[in-house]
Amino acid sequence: MDFSVFNSYKWLTHYEDLSKLVRGETLYPWAVSLDPAAMCDLSCSFCNSTPILDGAVYDRPMIKRILGVLSHWGTKTACVGGGGEPTMCPDLQYLIEGLSDIGVKMGMVTSGQHLDRHLSYLHKLS
């Protein structure tokens, strides 16, 4: 039988995790969303993040803690983006390379405004 997200047997692809749950083991998220910069240099009228853009960014100590948690959890995928423009985070390279080093597959949501500053390591996005 071919796999389909609409197939009612799709839960079988998670049999191992369901078995852990039945045994009372803790399950951690496979996928996370990371928002490394709560800032943006565009002023899009449709932006739903405007109320939370306070200029906060992930710094290296925070990224190190996040990587440790995600490694412990066994997280498999991450979406880098969210509440702001991720390419405005000064330590974005540290985050992307760190995620890659712990085996997390990732994508990034960006306006593309600043991609030229990050070309040396964006190949690590998968």
What total number of domains does the chain contain?
A: 1
Alpha-carbon dihedral 48, 50, 52, 57, rounded to 10 degrees? 110
- What CATH number corresponds to the domain at position 108? 3.40.50
First to last CA, the chain: 28
Residue 75 lies in a domain: yes
Is pLDDT above 90 for 15?
no
Residue indicated by tokens 């796999």: 3
Residue 6 lies in a domain: no
Q: Which range of residues forms the domain containing residue 102?
A: 28-40+48-124
Residue 16 lies in a domain: no
Alpha-carbon dihedral 97, 101, 103, 107, rounded to 10 degrees? 0
Give the pTM.
0.83
pLDDT value of residue 126: 82
Q: How confident is the model at residue 67 (pLDDT cuts 50, 70, 90)?
A: very high
Residue 90 lies in a domain: yes
